């Protein structure tokens, strides 16, 4: 390596590095590639120096009333934005054995083997591109090579930390300088991949704060999969709405949903009035019109649907017409599956009418006129095109990770707040002598600490195997 630290002045470090120009083809592009490699080398040297300040000097330490002593320095390969860093750091264990403590990993908020900055970069890119494109982008644009599996696992751990963050504390609410007149809560669901591929259905939501001129002053996004659980999408939105209602007790809450049973039931408990997105109503009616009905009436059905949406806000009797038409379509359907589809849509439509969810003449429904297609916009923002690709087949854990990260990276200011919280919380835990939770403990030591109890000696890359001395053991 041609980069090195040449001077240390207090907290300042001076790094010297070299690069060649005019080599290869002699093009400027070749020179730029050489500069990038040199800068990466300098970054590795600088990051190694920064990491070292989080280690101990090997002195005994106490955790929770238990004394721990150093087992010596153990090698770990850290991943940073500039490359891999082989670094030996102290690990600790008490006299009775048991768990291993790595002060450097904890104090520096190491996630698996990644520095916070590298974990932040990879998880952000993963949210937008997926593991393979993240891997490709980092190699082509940053000269950083790593496995697809590393990007995937690292991003899933970051997402698990986001989900496990203290729900009572939450993220900072905005200092809105104008009067918040309406808080619009939009939730619904969407397919993340073509049906039949085993990918869970996404639950999506946003909370928007609007002033007296219906200007958006603040919004935040939520995403998960449809289903129960303590960290489920419903619980996330429930907690956030509770905090917002406390901060804005006199503000009117209006809900918009895609018409699903779970979304309308949720909104009934949290908003003052709710409506089904008109575009979702049209989508349901379009599905009903295509449900094995006579082909000779297809043109007539299409023309009826095309001018229907404009009537929603003008004439409430239109829904009596819709229910009557769905009843006639049900009797004309040529297959049992077609009849079942139309029946389900008709029953759901009748329930919406009964509970006033389609009463678009109400004052609160003016928001839907101004912001049509809100649930579709939500899906475009949080899912994007890559979820809909035919090759996509995501399991539950991957789906949750992707949705969590996509929502978090699209919340203004919260992505940085999340990372500031990780670093601060883990450092505080180590300073207070508290051990981190397991999902964050991947945040700390890693598999190398487990191996520290084995007697297997392994070589340090680029070095001879060190002789054992008291209190110093060299492991990979």
- Find the CATH number of the domain harbouring 232: 3.30.420
pLDDT digits (tens, 9 = 90+) for 193-230: 665 566 678 899 999 999 888 888 888 999 988 866 54
pLDDT digits (tens, 9 = 90+) for 299-308: 888 888 887 8
Mean pLDDT computed over 53-76: 93
pLDDT digits (tens, 9 = 90+) for 105-139: 999 999 999 999 999 999 999 998 888 999 999 99
What's the token pair of residue 146? 């790593």
pLDDT at residue 358 in the model: 93
Mean pLDDT computed over 383-411: 75
Residue 458 placed within a domain: no
Residue length, the chain? 476
pLDDT at residue 197 in the model: 60
Q: For 267-386, where are the E strands, in sequence order? A: 273-276
Locate all alpha helices (DSSP H) within 143-257, ordered by sequence.
Answer: 148-164, 233-247
Lowest model confidence (mean pLDDT) among 197-211, 410-424, 429-443 = 429-443
3 state DSSP class of 73: strand
Q: Are residues 199 and 339 in the same domain?
A: no
Q: Are residues 134 and 208 in the same domain?
A: no
Overall number of domains in the chain: 4
pLDDT at residue 430 in the model: 53
Structural domain boundaries, residue 425: 54-165+413-451
Residue 34 · residue 87 · CB < 8 Å: no
Mean pLDDT computed over 242-261: 91
Q: Determine the Cα–Cα distance for residues 440 and 158; give it in Å rounded to an integer.
A: 9
Q: Are residues 344 and 228 in the same domain?
A: no
pLDDT tops 50 at residue 467: no
pLDDT digits (tens, 9 = 90+) for 25-51: 889 999 999 999 999 999 999 999 999
Higher pLDDT, 105 or 172: 105
pLDDT at residue 438 in the model: 39
Q: Could you give the angle at the alpha carbon of 276 between the alpha carbons of 248 and 236, nearest 5°?
A: 45
Residue 466 placed within a domain: no
Q: Are residues 348 and 207 in the same domain?
A: no
Q: Are residues 118 and 185 in the same domain?
A: no
pTM beyond cutoff 0.75: yes
pLDDT tops 50 at residue 466: no
Q: Are residues 403 and 429 in the same domain?
A: no
Q: Are residues 69 and 40 in the same domain?
A: no
Most distant pair of Cα atoms in the chain: their distance: 90
Mean pLDDT over the full length of the chain: 83
Lowest model confidence (mean pLDDT) among 32-41, 91-100, 357-366, 369-378 = 369-378
Higher pLDDT, 413 or 124: 124
Q: Using 50, 70 and 90 to split pLDDT, how confident is the model at 178? A: low
pLDDT at residue 469 in the model: 35
């Amino acid at each position: 390596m041609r980069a090195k630290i040449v001077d240390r002045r207090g907290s300042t470090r001076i790094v010297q590095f070299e690069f060649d120009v005019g080599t290869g083809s002699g093009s400027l592009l070749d020179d730029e590639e050489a500069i990038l490699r040199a800068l990466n080398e300098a970054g590795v040297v600088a990051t190694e120096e920064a990491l070292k300040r989080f280690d101990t000097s090997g002195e005994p330490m106490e955790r929770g009333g238990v004394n721990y002593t150093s087992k010596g320095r153990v090698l770990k390969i850290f991943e940073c934005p500039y490359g891999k860093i082989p670094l030996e750091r102290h690990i600790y264990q008490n006299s009775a054995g048991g768990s291993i403590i790595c002060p450097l990993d904890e104090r520096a908020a190491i996630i698996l083997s990644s520095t916070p900055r590298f974990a932040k970069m990879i998880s952000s890119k993963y949210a937008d591109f997926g593991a393979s494109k993240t891997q490709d982008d980092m190699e082509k644009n940053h000269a950083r090579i790593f496995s697809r599996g590393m990007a995937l696992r690292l991003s899933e751990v970051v997402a698990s930390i986001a989900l496990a963050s203290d729900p009572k504390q939450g993220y900072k609410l905005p200092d809105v300088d104008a009067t918040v007149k309406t808080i619009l809560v939009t939730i619904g669901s969407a397919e993340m991949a073509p049906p039949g591929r085993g990918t869970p259905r996404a639950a999506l939501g946003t909370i928007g704060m609007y002033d007296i001129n219906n200007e958006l002053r603040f919004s935040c996004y939520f995403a998960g999969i449809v289903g129960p659980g303590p960290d489920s999408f419903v619980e996330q939105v429930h907690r956030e709405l509770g905090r917002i209602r406390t901060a804005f007790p006199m503000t009117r809450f209006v809900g918009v949903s895609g018409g699903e049973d779970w979304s309308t039931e949720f909104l009934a408990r949290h908003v003052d009035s709710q409506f089904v997105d008109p575009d979702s109503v049209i989508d349901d009616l379009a599905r009903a019109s295509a449900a094995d009905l006579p082909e000779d009436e297809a043109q007539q059905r299409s023309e009826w649907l095309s001018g229907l949406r404009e009537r929603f806000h003008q004439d409430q009797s239109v829904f009596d017409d819709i229910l009557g038409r769905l009843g006639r379509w049900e009797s004309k359907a040529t297959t049992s599956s077609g009849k079942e589809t139309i029946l389900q849509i008709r029953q759901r439509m009748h329930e919406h009418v009964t509970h006033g969810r389609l009463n678009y003449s109400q004052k609160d429904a003016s928001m839907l006129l101004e912001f049509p297609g809100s649930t579709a916009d939500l899906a475009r923002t949080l899912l994007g095109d890559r979820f809909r690709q035919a090759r996509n087949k995501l399991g539950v854990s991957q789906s949750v990770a992707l949705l969590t990260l996509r929502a978090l990276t699209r919340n203004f200011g919260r992505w940085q707040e999340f990372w500031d919280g990780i670093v601060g919380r883990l450092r505080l835990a180590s300073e207070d002598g508290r051990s981190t939770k397991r999902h964050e403990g991947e945040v700390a030591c890693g598999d190398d600490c487990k191996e520290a109890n084995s007697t297997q000696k392994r070589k340090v890359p680029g070095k001879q195997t060190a002789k054992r001395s008291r209190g110093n053991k060299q492991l990979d």
